[in-house]
């Protein structure tokens, strides 16, 4: 019984000493400084989230446009499809310029979107043949609107 009592007394003394050290003002200050340093060293994830959100929004907008234009593949003339294709290539170039900052999910969506576009192009090629030889001046409409 005396051994158990002495063991409890020694354990209580160690616990009291540990709490005293932990509650010491200097220790508290050191811990707070370490926390502040760790927070400053941590990378800013909000910028990554914003880039990812913007990329997803841009891809979704482009996906909507691709779906609308793909539906037109069944009825579009060669000239209309050439204009649509030129617009696709312009938009695709803009998005691919931003793709270096995308996360893996956005890249996967982008690849799926390009595959969808390829299916639409295959449909139009089956219906109209080679559409590569149609020359369309897309800037004509822009010049008319500016005048």
Q: What is the pLDDT of residues 104-122, one digit of tens each?
A: 888 888 899 899 899 888 8
Res 136: pLDDT: 43
Give the chain's residues under pLDDT 70.
Answer: 1, 16-28, 31, 38-39, 41-52, 130-147
Please give the pLDDT value at position 74: 80
Which residues touch 119 (CB under 8 Å, ≥6 apart)?
70
Rounded to whole angstroms, the Cα distance separating 3 from 134 reads 99
- How far does CA 124 lie from the centroid of its chain? 31
What Å distances lie between residue 45 and 102, 110, 139, CA to CA? Answer: 13, 22, 41
Q: What is the pLDDT of residue 87?
A: 92
Distance set, CA 89 to CA 45, 66, 71, 80, 84 (Å): 32, 11, 17, 14, 9
Q: In this predicted structure, what is the pLDDT of residue 48?
A: 52
């Amino acid at each position: 019984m005396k051994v158990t009592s002495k063991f409890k007394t020694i354990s209580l003394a160690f616990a009291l000493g540990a709490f005293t050290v932990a509650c010491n003002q200097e220790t508290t200050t050191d811990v707070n400084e370490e926390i502040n340093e760790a927070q400053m060293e941590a990378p800013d994830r909000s910028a990554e989230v914003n880039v990812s959100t913007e990329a997803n929004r841009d891809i979704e907008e482009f996906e909507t446009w691709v779906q609308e234009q793909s539906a037109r593949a069944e009825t579009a003339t060669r000239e209309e499809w050439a204009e649509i294709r030129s617009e696709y290539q312009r938009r695709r170039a803009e998005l691919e310029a931003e793709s270096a900052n995308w996360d893996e999910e956005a890249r996967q969506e982008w690849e799926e979107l390009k595959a969808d576009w390829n299916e639409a192009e295959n449909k139009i090629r089956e219906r109209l043949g080679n559409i590569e030889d149609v020359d369309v001046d897309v800037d004509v409409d822009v010049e008319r609107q500016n005048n």
